[in-house]
Amino acid sequence: MKMYYVFPALMLLAAAVFFSGRARAALKSPAPRATLDAAIAANPGRQTAVFAGGCFWGQQAVFERIKGVVKTTAGYAGGSASTATYDQVTTETTGHAESVEVVYDPSKITYGDLLRIFFSIAHDPTQLNRQDNDVGTSYRSAIFYTNDEQRRIATAYIAELEAAHVFGKPIVTEVTPLKGFYAGEDYHQDYALKNPGNPYILVCDRPKVELLKKEFPDFYVEYRGRE
């Protein structure tokens, strides 16, 4: 269950700074580029990546603001189609993780670059079955790969991060095949963009967007919603 924070305005700002710091507390140094990565494609195209790491509102808020990303969808992966509804997933009994499907142009950004942002900005990969106060397997850290190349790149990157002791704790991110992605309900799509004053968004998600803008300026683009 998502924890909704209700604070006066000044406390909200302080809390946002605090939670931004918490999210980065596990990082000892900026995550490096992936040594093993796909080459930038010669021609424009479409490829799909699926990531899970806490509430899908924040995941989507990050990935929809990355240059080269064509479309994002908040939804569910890891369980069956028949149980892919928010009410069912929040029971923590369906096997799903709140996830984001990222459709990107491989001529503009690589899978390794997406992984770097996933580990650096989108979530804390050292928290097992939770992200801060959001607790349960539906908030687990996971990479759902769609092909063997993604599996190789993701597995190698995690090993690289661990060998370099980039994080102060072990990485718990699962690397598992995508068996199905199921789009979330309409009201979850672009939720952070549509609800900028929501206390949860202010505390948990806005700091991620600001950190993306600060640490990955070459990848950051403004996002104004789906056309």
Three-state secondary-structure class, residue 191? helix
Instruction: Please indicate, yes or no, whether the overall pTM of this predicted structure exceeds 0.75.
Output: yes
Residue 3 within any structural domain of the chain? no
Is 90 exceeded by the pLDDT of residue 20? no
Rg (CA), the chain: 16
Domains held by the chain: number: 1
pLDDT tens track for 160-217 = 999 999 998 999 999 999 999 999 999 999 999 999 999 999 999 999 999 999 999 9
Residue 140 within any structural domain of the chain? yes
Residue 172 within any structural domain of the chain? yes
Residue 56 within any structural domain of the chain? yes
Question: The CATH number of the domain where 18 resides is what?
Answer: 3.30.1060.10
Task: Say what the pLDDT of residue 2 is.
Answer: 60
Residue 38 within any structural domain of the chain? yes
Return mean pLDDT, the chain.
90
Q: Which of 16, 55, 62, 142 is catalytic?
A: 55
CA distance 86 to 138: 10
Residue 147 within any structural domain of the chain? yes
Residue 73 within any structural domain of the chain? yes
- 55 is known as an active-site residue: yes
Residue 122 within any structural domain of the chain? yes
Task: Say what the pLDDT of residue 3 is.
Answer: 53
CA distance 172 to 115: 15
Task: Say what the pLDDT of residue 110 is.
Answer: 98
Q: What percent of the chain has pLDDT over 70?
A: 87
pLDDT tens track for 94-135 = 999 999 999 999 999 999 999 999 999 999 999 999 999 999
CA distance 142 to 81: 18
What is the average per-residue pLDDT within 26-40? 85
Binned at pLDDT 50, 70 and 90, residue 226 comes out as confident
Lowest mean pLDDT of 6-10, 29-33, 174-178, 198-202, name the range. 6-10
Compute the C-alpha angle 106/107/108, nearest 5°. 90
What is the average per-residue pLDDT within 5-14? 44
What is the average per-residue pLDDT within 146-166? 97
* Domain hosting residue 51, numbered range: 9-215
Binned at pLDDT 50, 70 and 90, residue 13 comes out as very low
Angle between helices 56-63 and 206-215 (to 10 degrees): 30
Tokens of 110: 């690589």
Task: Say what the pLDDT of residue 22 is.
Answer: 41
